[in-house]
Structures are given as structure tokens and as C-alpha cells.
Amino acid sequence: MSELRYKCQAKATDRENGSPRRGAAWVKSRRGWFKVFDDRVECGDWIIPAAAVQEAVLFEMRQLFIPVFVLQLTTAEATYQFGFNPWSRVVRFLPFAVERRRAKLGYSAFSIVIRVVIAVAVIYWLWQQFG
């Protein structure tokens, strides 16, 4: 059994691919411990062998002034994205090479609709209160 190299909290989804964006996949994402071993990474019941990783990309973004990091791992079977807290420094412990990319956090159609509905509700409430 290999030794645990790093452990931190993460949000994870296997329903997104490419540059990270706000959306329903992250609302329903799993939350748990992201564990790095000499030969694999784990998050919940996902066990991803280092040898199976075809591409590893760390997306570096900002949400207002807060740094956001999303690690995308691509294997032959699936693509996984892991969102980390700003203070997590997982990259130096990973057992495979990681490409770093700067990106802008995008919006899915779902997240845009939710924002519009909330804005309309707030405007309606203000109109009812003061109009």
C-alpha cells in the first residue's frame, strides 16, 4: 500500500469538461477528502491511478478577489474536475505532471437562468415594498 502524501477537502464532478464554469454539475457535486498517494488520487469512491491519467490541467481563476483552483484529470474512461479551497496546494504532491492554465470562470445556461430569476424576484419585492 502506498503512503498518503496529501489530503484536503474538495468538491468534485465528473459531469464537466474543459474550462470550469458555474453550473448544475457543481450544485450536485460530491464533497469530500481529496487524497494523494504515490500511485493514485482518491476522492470518495473514485480511485484514479496515476498511470491512467492522460492529461492533468490546473485551472487558475479568480472569483472577485479570491483565487480559485480547479484540477481536471482526464482518463480513457472519464474526465474529473476537483475544486479546491484557495489555501490548498495540491499540485506539488501529485504523482503526475500538471499543466497550469489561467482561465475565466464561466457560466452555464442553468446558472444564468438562476441569476435572472433571483434578480427578477428582488426587483419585484422592491417594487412591492416601495412602489
pLDDT tens-digit map of 52-63: 999 999 999 987
Amino acid at 53: V
What the chain holds in terms of domains, given with CATH numbers, is 4-105 (2.30.29)
pLDDT (tens digit, 9 = 90+) per residue, 61-93? Answer: 987 888 989 999 999 999 999 999 999 999 999
User: Whole-prediction pTM value?
Assistant: 0.81
Confidence class of residue 111 from pLDDT cuts 50, 70 and 90? low
How remote is the C-alpha of 113 from its chain's centroid? 21
Name residues whose C-beta falls within 8 Å of residue 2's C-beta, 6 or more positions apart in sequence.
37, 38, 39, 40
pLDDT (tens digit per residue) in 17-28: 888 877 878 888
